[in-house]
Structure 1
Amino acid sequence: MDTHHPGVFLTEDRLAIREMAREFATTEVLPLANELDPVHGEIPMALREKMAELGFFGILVPEEYGGLGLGLSEYAIVVEELARAWMSVASLIARGQQFTAGFGPEQRARYLPAMARGEFLSAFALSEAEAGSDVANLSCRAVPDGDGWRITGQKMWCTFADGSDYLQVFARTAPVDPAHRSRGVTCFLMPKERGTLPEGVTGTPVRKIGYHGWTTWELSFADAWADEVVGELGKGFRVAMGDLDTARIHTAARAIGLARGALEDSITYAGQRVQFGRPIGENQGIRFKIADMAAQIEASRALMYQVCTAVDTGRPSPVEASMVKLVASEMAERVTSEGLQIHGGAGYTTDFPVERYWRDARLTKIFEGTSEIQMRIISDALLGRPDART
């Protein structure tokens, strides 16, 4: 379903980008998702190569480094289209253009061209068992060793650790300062061979309920070697937070794509499924569900376009980025759940994609900052931070 027409936001160029991404998602990604997701299969390398040829890994990479040099608006348009087919594929493109906020000039010149070609993709090793939303509470440590560092500790939720070309690992290089807990954390870049884990790193796959197509890992570091720092020593928290506007808009676009998949599939199903002698789409209860789903999607997309425009015109707003991430992810869970309801018993099988949209939508409320974290950011901006209690 598509109610958008050329206008202030959807220029002719952006419409052309959207149609290209939509055709790719429909013909290349969706059939693979329907085949591989139910059996927890991996995103094929051939698909990654096609994505690279289309420039998907370099949308945000400046032209001087071989990228397309486009903005978050174009990025969000492509992400929505890919997520409508398979959220994992929509997530994969971030691995070539996000998480680079702390790169210095030499690192940008060395790595960004390869990233834009899809040849230097990342895995983000930040979270730990006791450091989920509290990302400053890291216990993984790095100690100097000659001209490098030895990293020891545990990391959780490191998706793509095996398939990536490098890990970005956040470890504590100085003792905790109670007054400034985020200080003393350093970001390390750890290159590796694709398909393996670095020497000194072992992993256990996380038994997740969705987000299939790639593996999410619990990693153990035992004197693993790193000799390249991203950003400044002891200021890795700034690196971790540096791409949050982009990451949260990315998640909003993924959520909208999932919801759109549920809506479009529900419209099709409602026209085909016959009960009591007529298609269920003739029943007012179903029709009103679909109308409400469509309205929620449009409202979330309009907010996303507004936030993208602000960022692309030099007016970044972490609060608005939190708002769109919150609104879109909460919407996606509601809309995909309604889509599953419209499918009835069929929706609770893996024979229809709607259950995939539902499972993956639930994750959008958790990663890149939970809904509760977004509400804290928004309320703090509106009301000020509450006084500390002793």
Structure 2
Amino acid sequence: MAAGYLTPERRMMRDVAREFAMNEVLPVANRLDPEKGDIPRELIDKMGELGFFGILIPEELGGLGLGAFEYCLVAEELSRAWMSVASIIARGNSFYTSVPGTGEERRRKIELMAKGQYLGAVALSEPGVGSDLSGVACRARREGDEWVITGNKYWCTFADGADYISVLCRIDDPEAGPKGRTINISVEKPRGELPQGCTGAPIPKIGYFGWRTWELRFEGTRAPVRAPGGSLADEMKAGEGAAFALELARAHTAARSIGLARGALEDAMAYARERVQFGQPISDFQAIRFKIASMATEIEAARQLMHHCCQQIDAGQPVRVETSMVKLFASEMAERVTSEALQIFGGAGYTTLHAAERYWRDARLTKIFEGTSEIQQRIIADQLLGKPSIRGSN
């Protein structure tokens, strides 16, 4: 690892996260993931005490005031135990910009968020809308100082457990023009319930257990505007901070991918040392040794690219292409590495008796969310080659 990246303070933070992940998160994951159980509230509270939800929140708002590097450092460690736990910290951190309310009330909520006591969810996708958010059809019309939301959303993880949902809507407003504009509207709700005027059902998933992912229907759901008495321009300006930075989200996904791959590698190494065939541990066989060497190399390559991207993000440098590269490379790497780990386990890997299958299932998702691998390839290719000369060719 590059010494310049890992300062003593960062090493200390990594070690705290690693100890917590292995001693607190991993046993819970091994017990609850097979039965599709939810992340316990007690675990969330412990993470809040350690500051994991407030890494990116400014100190004056109760957070640690750190950067993308520390955020991804912690995410990798948590994902090595359970990716859902590495993901839930995002429901604080960058979400603080979308917290509803104004003035002191909003400040108090952000301070609670930094402790893991007030968390958000986001509803972007729709049944017919995935990566192309320009097709968003969920509508919001303004009535006085309230938004009224109508439409369907899909893939809203933690919709029930969050304290509010940030809903991407198309605005019905004369100022927005004939095509309208999109805005994130924060809908507050009781924890453990869906918002008033909203119904839904959990989507059956093959992984990413620990929390539920929802299909939602908003039928006249109401939420206060951010700029009471103001124009649409005032409202858009007040909500500018509510947009979710894709560059940071993609670096976070890379960190989660690396954590998953590392978990699979470490478990496979331990199993290879213990599993005896033909009178010797399979870790003596060249085929296994070469697999492990390649797996470790890919993980470290992804980590170094992630560290570089995080440094650039924290320095305020443009990293749209670099974060697409690290998200693409790390997620594709994670699927390969976790699959190889499963192969090392042999038949034992195809059971739920070992965590290898969990890492494999969750790694597959990293190639899909926060922009598919194909979306990342398009971003990178457009930067290298320019936009396609014939529109619609891809």
What range describes the TM-score normalised by the shorter chain of this pair? over 0.9
Cα distance change, pair 347–240 in 1 and its aligned pair in 2 (3 A): farther
Aligned residue for 2:185, secondary structure, equals: strand
Equivalents in 2 of 1:119, 1:232: separation in Å?
A: 30
Question: Match of 2:131?
Answer: 133
> 2:30 is matched with which residue: 4, 16, 34?
34
- 1:248 Cα offset (Å): 0.5
Does residue 96 of structure 1 match 2:96?
A: no
Answer whether contact 1:326 1:371 (CA < 8 A) is retained.
Answer: yes
Question: Match of 2:290?
Answer: 288
Unaligned 5+ runs, structure 1: none
> 1:165 is matched with which residue: 163, 166, 169?
163
Does residue 302 of structure 1 match 2:304?
A: yes
> 1:247 is matched with which residue: 229, 246, 249?
249
Residue correspondence of structure 1 range 139-288 to structure 2 within 5 A: 139-174=137-172, 184-229=181-226, 233=235, 242-288=244-290
Question: Match of 1:323?
Answer: 325
In structure 2, give the amino acid aligned to 1:129: P
Does residue 22 of structure 1 match 2:10?
A: no
Equivalents in 1 of 2:154, 2:294: separation in Å?
A: 37
Using structure 2 for the length normalisation, give the TM-score.
0.92
- 1:247 Cα offset (Å): 0.5
Answer whether contact 1:185 1:234 (CA < 8 A) is retained.
Answer: no
Residue correspondence of structure 1 range 21-100 to structure 2 within 5 A: 21-100=17-96
- 1:314 Cα offset (Å): 2.0
In structure 2, give the amino acid aligned to 1:133: S
Equivalents in 2 of 1:303, 1:153: separation in Å?
A: 40
Cα distance change, pair 139–68 in 1 and its aligned pair in 2 (3 A): same
Cα distance change, pair 240–356 in 1 and its aligned pair in 2 (3 A): farther
Cα distance change, pair 243–180 in 1 and its aligned pair in 2 (3 A): farther
Unaligned 5+ runs, structure 2: 228-232
Equivalents in 1 of 2:223, 2:294: separation in Å?
A: 51
Aligned residue for 2:134, secondary structure, equals: coil
Question: Match of 2:230?
Answer: none
| Deviation sequence 1:342-364 (CA, Å, 0-9, x none) | 00010010000000000000000
Equivalents in 2 of 1:387, 1:175: separation in Å?
A: 35
RMSD between aligned residues: 2.5
Aligned residue for 1:169, secondary structure, equals: strand
Answer whether contact 1:80 1:253 (CA < 8 A) is retained.
Answer: yes
Answer whether contact 2:94 2:244 (CA < 8 A) is retained.
Answer: no
| Deviation sequence 1:208-258 (CA, Å, 0-9, x none) | 000000000000111111113499646899767541111011000000000
- 1:26 Cα offset (Å): 0.4
Aligned residue for 2:95, secondary structure, equals: coil
